[in-house]
Amino acid sequence: MKRGYTLFWLVPFLLVISLYPVVTKSVIARETVFIILMYVSLAASLNIIMGYAGYVSFGHIVYYGIGGYVAFYLMHHVGVRLVPAMLVAGLFSALMALAVGEAVLRLRGAIFAIATIGVNEAIKSLVTNLSFLGGATGMFFNFKIYRAYGGAAKAIWYAYYVMVAVTLITVVVSYFIKTSKFGLGLFSIREDEDAAFVLGVNTKRFKSLAYAFSAFFPGMVGAVFFFKAGNIEPEDAFHLVKSIEMIFMVMLGGYGTASGPVLGALIYERLKGMLLVNPLFKNLHLAIAGFVLLLIVLFAPGGLVGYLRSKFRKLRGVLE
Amino acid sequence: MEAFVSALLNGVLLGLAYGLAAIGLNLIWGVMKVINLSHGAFIALGMFASYFLFHSFGLSPFVSVILVLALGLVVGMVAYFIALHRVISAPELSTLLSTYSLSLIIIGVGTFVFTTNPRAIDVGLGSLHVLGTYIPAAKVLTGVYSLIFTVLLYIFLYKTWTGKAIRAVSMNRVAAEFMGVNTTFILSLSFGIGIALAMVAGALIASVFPFTILSGGVYELKSFVICVLGGLGSPLGALVGGLVLGLLENVLTLKMSVGYVPFIEFLILVVILLVKPSGLLGKE
């Protein structure tokens, strides 16, 4: 597969954004960039199954929640440090996705979407009833946990750096998946699954792998997010609205492209931030997001990157 | 024993209302192959329509339901041309997202206008004494009305020319078009009917339970479970699915904690999708 030049600007771009709060030592900027990076990582990983393979995982936030819970449990009750706990959480999420995918990936189209909503809601209600995970009230960190990282203030910076690393890895991996033979197989599944199967693509294995990849990163993101938050509860971890936000970002940027979700996440976070501080639009931001989404779906289904690619042929090498 | 009878009666009555809500979703899926993610938002809209007709004009929900039905039909047909007409032949992702954005708009504006404070309609009809237990009359009426609307829909779909055209479009849109059916009109009409049923179900449920603008989401998820249980695209299946769900909710809670009920419901959803995607009553 011929590779373009997307990564040559995308990675420096992300690095500049991530370094901004470090240089300015601004806590407010750090919080904003942390959320942006989290969105980028979530959108880029959802894009693997939704954009590349064409399977709209509507309840994708479930893997973020599972990762968050696994890591939180390990850190809270077993005393594992953040990075190993995060890796275990990512792997656990990926394994869950393999198991769940074994079943739900047999479904196609809208039925698959509904089934993934069902999986999210089922796991949310299950976790709400499990007392060793804290039930409906969830779990809280004892602040002693942050001592291992040099106090709470330093622990939050530490979480920030880990999030930067996770995001960069997610974006790079999603790019290499897209430009690999594996990615080509996924795109053929998206266009016509039966034809892909007849032409020798192992559709079942490809889909499962793509699903596992797209669950691995949200698992790690969840681990870092809830480490930083200090508490975890089912309503937060398996919030269906977050799932929708992920889909929104992917669509806004351009689904199936590697740079689209990154730009989509960035624009969405800025847009949301702007609307939330405006007194007139503060309460209307959901409605505005809905209106924008409707316009994208009706008039620019390729999103921002798709639109630019179709208008400017020369940009195709740098906007993959 | 008394508790069991009461749970059984409550289950059947609520199940009928759940079934009515799900039929709207099911009709839209069957005819248009669209999963209507704005279903819950329209259920909530029905609740608020009923609430305002009750508080501003003093109309009982069981009278104003006719107005809600008409309103739903119009709103639904307009919504079809705004959100769906352009993407009706596009891949499912587009229709999923366009109906979802419709839902975001309705819920967003609804939250802005009505806030998320809980509201309730107190119809004050008292209770009926049935088989040794007391059942609120509003609940009985809700069940009866749901059954009536379901039967009316059935007659409409199977005995009238327009109903037959709707079924023809659901079987094969292109062939129906060749036979002289105005498919654009039929599609918008089906969406209108689906939305109208969702709003009617919302209006009826609002007379039994308190609600907020966000309550629709709960019933939307229930409707998914019901549709899958009864078979996507089959109106009768939705009624049976609704009864099963209503009974499960009321009878299971006699024996176990309420918290586990959603888990069981969604487990059923996923298992049925995997084992028998055509639903309990489906062929194959």
Q: How confident is the model at residue A187 (pLDDT cuts 50, 70, 90)?
A: very high
Q: How confident is the model at residue A1 (pLDDT cuts 50, 70, 90)?
A: low
pLDDT at position B284 is 47
Contacts of A58 in chain B (CB under 8 A): 96
Residues 6+ away with beta carbon under 8 Å from B182: none
Q: How confident is the model at residue A115 (pLDDT cuts 50, 70, 90)?
A: confident
The sign of the CA dihedral B166, B171, B172, B173 is positive
How high is the ipTM of this complex? 0.82
Q: Is A144 exposed, middle or buried (0-12, 13-18, 19+ CB in 10 A)?
A: exposed
Asked if pLDDT for residue A210 goes beyond 60, the answer is: yes
Asked if pLDDT for residue B1 goes beyond 80, the answer is: no
CA distance A12 to B159: 66
Nearest CA in chain A to B79: A294
pLDDT at position B72 is 95
**Whole-number average pLDDT of chain B:** 86
For the segment A12-40, the average pLDDT, to the nearest whole number, is 92
Identify the CA nearest to A141 among candidates A149, A220, A238: A149
pLDDT one-digit tens code per residue, B232-268: 767 778 888 899 888 888 888 887 777 788 788 888 8
> Are the CB atoms for B240 and B281 separated by under 8 Å?
yes
**Whole-number average pLDDT of chain A:** 89
The H or E element that residue B136 is part of is strand B133-136
Identify the weakest region by mean pLDDT among A238-252, A304-318, B153-167, B194-208. Answer: A304-318
pLDDT at position A297 is 85
Considering CB atoms only, which of A109, A124, A129 is closest to B260?
Answer: A129
A271 part of contact set with chain B, CB < 8 Å: no
Considering CB atoms only, which of A117, A287, A292 is closest to B112?
Answer: A287
Task: Please indicate whether, in this complex, the C-beta atoms of A301 and B86 are within 8 angstroms of each other.
Answer: no
For the segment A76-89, the average pLDDT, to the nearest whole number, is 92
Q: How confident is the model at residue A301 (pLDDT cuts 50, 70, 90)?
A: confident
Which residue type sits at A59?
G
Question: Looking at chain B from residue 219 to 248, which residues have their Cβ under 8 Å from any Cβ of chain A?
Answer: 221, 224-225, 228, 232
> Are the CB atoms for A242 and A290 separated by under 8 Å?
no
DSSP A119-130: HHHHHHHHHHH-
Contacts of A235 in chain B (CB under 8 A): none
pLDDT one-digit tens code per residue, B87-128: 888 877 788 888 988 998 998 898 888 888 888 888 777 777
pLDDT at position A158 is 93
Which residue type sits at A217?
F
Contacts of B35 in chain A (CB under 8 A): 110, 113-114
Considering CB atoms only, which of A50, A122, A291 is closest to B267?
Answer: A122
Task: Please indicate whether, in this complex, the C-beta atoms of A115 and B273 are within 8 angstroms of each other.
Answer: yes
Residue B261: how many CB atoms within 10 A of its CB? 17
CA distance A41 to A101: 21
Which residue type sits at A285?
H
The percentage of chain A sitting over the pLDDT mark of 70, rounded to a whole number, equals: 99
Question: Looking at chain B from residue 152 to 191, which residues have their Cβ under 8 Å from any Cβ of chain A?
Answer: none
pLDDT at position A90 is 96
Contacts of B97 in chain A (CB under 8 A): 247, 251, 293, 297
Which residue type sits at B247?
L
Considering CB atoms only, which of B33, B225, B266 is closest to A125?
Answer: B266
Q: How confident is the model at residue B282 (pLDDT cuts 50, 70, 90)?
A: low
CA distance A183 to A53: 8
Task: Please indicate whether, in this complex, the C-beta atoms of A115 and B98 are within 8 angstroms of each other.
Answer: no
CA distance B22 to B26: 6
B263 part of contact set with chain A, CB < 8 Å: yes
* In chain B, alpha helices (H): 2-32, 39-57, 61-79, 92-114, 137-159, 161-171, 173-178, 183-206, 216-230, 235-255, 260-275
pLDDT one-digit tens code per residue, A122-175: 899 889 888 888 888 888 888 788 888 888 888 999 999 999 999 999 999 999
Asked if pLDDT for residue A103 goes beyond 70, the answer is: yes
For the segment B4-19, the average pLDDT, to the nearest whole number, is 87
pLDDT one-digit tens code per residue, B121-180: 887 777 777 777 788 888 888 888 888 998 898 899 889 999 999 888 888 888 888 888
Task: Please indicate whether, in this complex, the C-beta atoms of A129 and B86 are within 8 angstroms of each other.
Answer: no
CA distance B103 to A297: 14
B7 part of contact set with chain A, CB < 8 Å: no
The sign of the CA dihedral B185, B186, B187, B189 is positive
Q: Global pTM? A: 0.86
Contacts of B93 in chain A (CB under 8 A): 50, 54, 56, 255
Q: A46, A49, A114: which to substitute to probe chain B, counting the most B Cβ within 10 Å?
A: A114
Considering CB atoms only, which of B34, B97, B259 is closest to A125?
Answer: B259
The alpha-carbon radius of gyration of chain A (Å, integer) is 19
Number of A/B CB contacts below 8 angstroms equals: 129
**Which tokens belong to A242?**
């977050």
Residue A131: how many CB atoms within 10 A of its CB? 6
